[in-house]
Amino acid sequence: MKTIEIEEISAIIEKLCIDANYYLNPDMEAAIKAAVETEKSDLGKSILKQLVENAQIAKNEKMAICQDTGMAVVFVDIGQEVYIRGGSLTDAINEGVRRGYKNGYLRKSVVGDPIERVNTGDNTPAIIHYNIIEGDTLKLMVAPKGFGSENMSGLKMLKPSDGIEGVKQFILDVVSSAGPNPCPPIVVGVGIGGTMEKASLLAKKALMRPVDCPSGLEHVKKLEEELLIKINKLGIGPAGLGGSTTSLAVNIEVFPTHIAGLPVAVNLNCHATRHAEVTI
């Protein structure tokens, strides 16, 4: 049995909030740089170069990549042999988010009630997803989610008879309707299967997969490749100003579903696609 103090967890979450907002992930930086070479639009090339420069400035100056520092989404994989000592794990995570957004000078964007809409002032509460695993490790991933992209996401309960063509069309429709709003080039996270809420969670988790890491399922990998080509033919381009780089990757996760269902969720993310993780 491994014992972990809540203060250690709060300190880690604080750092992850800051790191995720300050530093562009290496896979994203490499993908944007590669897109500079393949982008057909001169304006698009210029925008992509600016995104790389922006990330470098954020890294050097220790400041946020984007002014929308997001709502903190936290994925927790907790081993069955882990004991959290000193208080509530949920409270420890929220304390870490509170400190991270204060000490990192990150924008506080959370309102305490969706109707009354009064800012909580510290970017809490976080959205926390718990997953119990075997062993004595605790994995913490923080994924700040900006709402320029979150607002452009979609869910549809397709019928099995809609088939794979219906799935493809819905994904393309979501991206096409989003246009410039999610700050392209985007990463397209897709969840297929499960139930309504499971498909949405799959789509969110798909965004955490590196853009240079395709699905391990061959039929899903082929679908990712096909959709990426079709999305980049939409012509939306970097910053929505036209070009051949609308998306850097399409990441799809699947899960068993009911014989009568075909849930599909699409969760879009901007060119930053922020996340940072630590395993204790």
Same domain, 166 and 221: yes
Q: Binning pLDDT at 50, 70 and 90, where does residue 279 land?
A: very high
Q: Tell whether pTM > 0.85.
A: yes
pLDDT, mean over the chain: 97
Collect contacts of 242-245 with beta carbons under 8 A, ≥24 apart: 242/41, 242/43, 242/44, 243/39, 243/40, 243/41, 243/43, 243/44, 243/47, 244/38, 244/39, 244/40, 244/41, 244/44, 245/35, 245/38, 245/39, 245/44, 245/48, 245/184, 245/185
Same domain, 109 and 196: no
- Give the structural domain span for 86: 2-20+65-145
Rounded Cα distance between 184 and 43, Å, is 13
Same domain, 115 and 218: no
Average pLDDT over residues 62-68: 97
Same domain, 215 and 117: no
User: CATH number of the domain that 185 lies in?
Assistant: 3.30.1330
Same domain, 191 and 72: no
Encode pLDDT of 228-269 as tens digits. 999 999 999 999 999 999 999 999 999 999 999 999 999 999
